[in-house]
């Protein structure tokens, strides 16, 4: 049976239709996704936070500029202390003016003892080793590097301690207590804490430890600053491992 041909309309018969401004497919692809990811971005390529910050877990490793700044701070403080520069004179005047130990400041200074800080890091590393054993190993190596670097550093600089430490060996720069506290508590926070607020809390804790060391007359302020610069460089290594930046590359299987 032959099909009846359909009537063919002409161009003049077409009814003009105004353009539709709805949410078409092109507009949907150009808009932002509900989960915050940019369009056509694979899940593994999402940005986890502001570059160079430690606000997300795993933390994003800081840029090389941060490591350079920490190295410059350590070099500058070492130079001023060893060369008896003007910054050292100001530092010692500030240390003498701040002297005034109390029960609270002694407690804060004692938080830098290895017998207090190291067990905290050991417990955090053992807990985190279940999922991030590389990070736990990196934290342990960072903690082991503190005495390995600080002890010969102190002997090389040979700085005299505050008046409250008269008679002690001339080995006060950088502060071993400040470096121990910064690495131990900082690495524990990187291993366990999943919110930025905890990282800020640990930073404030280390500031309190440094204040306690200076107020109690155990160290000069520059001793603490130099120790923080050294500890910061070690913590950046831990953060990089925690973020997966230093992994052994593996061969991908052929597709």
Q: What is the pLDDT of residues 42-67, one digit of tens each?
A: 454 444 444 334 444 444 445 578 88
Tell me the three-class secondary structure of the chain, residue by residue.
Answer: CCCCCCCCCCHHHCCCCCCCCCCCHHHHHHCCCCCCCCCCCCHHHCCCCCCCCCCCCCCCCCCHHHHHHHHHHHHHHHHHHHCCCHHHHHHHHHHHHHCCCCHHHHHHHHCCCHHHHHHHHHHHHHHHCCCCHHHHHHHHHHHHHHHHHHHHHHHHHCCCCCHHHCCCCCCCCCCHHHHHHHHHHHHHHHHHCCCHHHHHHHHHHHHHHHHHHHHCCCCCHHHHHHHHHHHHHHHHHHHHHHCCCCCCCCCCCCC
For residue 75, pLDDT beyond 60: yes
Indicate whether 49 belongs to any domain.
no
Indicate whether 202 belongs to any domain.
yes
**Which of the two residues, 195 and 181, has the higher pLDDT score?**
181
Which pLDDT band holds residue 5 (cuts at 50, 70, 90)? low
Indicate whether 135 belongs to any domain.
yes
Q: Residue 231 is part of which domain span?
A: 64-86+108-242
Indicate whether 15 belongs to any domain.
no
Indicate whether 45 belongs to any domain.
no
How many structural domains does the chain have?
Answer: 1
Indicate whether 210 belongs to any domain.
yes
Indicate whether 201 belongs to any domain.
yes
Q: Among 3-17, 141-155, 175-189, which is the least confidently predicted range?
A: 3-17
Average pLDDT of the chain is 81
Indicate whether 146 belongs to any domain.
yes
Q: What is the pTM of this model?
A: 0.72
């Amino acid at each position: 049976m032959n099909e009846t041909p359909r009537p063919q309309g002409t161009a003049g018969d077409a009814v003009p239709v105004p353009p539709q401004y709805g949410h078409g497919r092109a507009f949907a692809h150009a808009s932002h996704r509900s989960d915050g990811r940019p369009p056509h971005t694979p899940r593994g390529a999402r940005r986890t936070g502001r570059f160079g910050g430690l606000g997300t877990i795993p933390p994003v490793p800081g840029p090389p500029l941060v490591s350079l700044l920490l190295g410059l701070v350590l070099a500058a403080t070492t130079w001023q202390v060893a060369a008896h520069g003007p910054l050292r004179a100001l530092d010692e005047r500030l240390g003498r003016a701040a002297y005034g130990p109390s029960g609270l400041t002694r407690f804060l200074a004692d938080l830098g003892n290895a017998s207090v800080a190291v067990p905290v890091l050991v417990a955090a590393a053992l807990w985190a080793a279940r999922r991030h054993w590389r990070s736990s190993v990196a934290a342990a190596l960072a903690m082991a590097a503190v005495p390995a670097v600080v002890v010969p550093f102190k002997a090389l600089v040979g700085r005299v301690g505050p008046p409250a430490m008269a008679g002690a060996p001339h080995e006060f720069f950088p502060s071993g207590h400040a470096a121990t506290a910064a690495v131990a508590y900082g690495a524990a926070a990187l291993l366990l804490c999943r919110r930025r607020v905890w990282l800020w809390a640990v930073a404030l804790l280390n500031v309190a430890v440094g204040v306690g060391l200076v107020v109690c007359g155990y160290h000069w302020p520059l001793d603490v600053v130099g120790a923080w610069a050294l500890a910061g460089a070690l913590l950046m290594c831990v953060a990089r491992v925690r973020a997966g930046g230093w992994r052994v590359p593996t061969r991908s299987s052929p597709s």
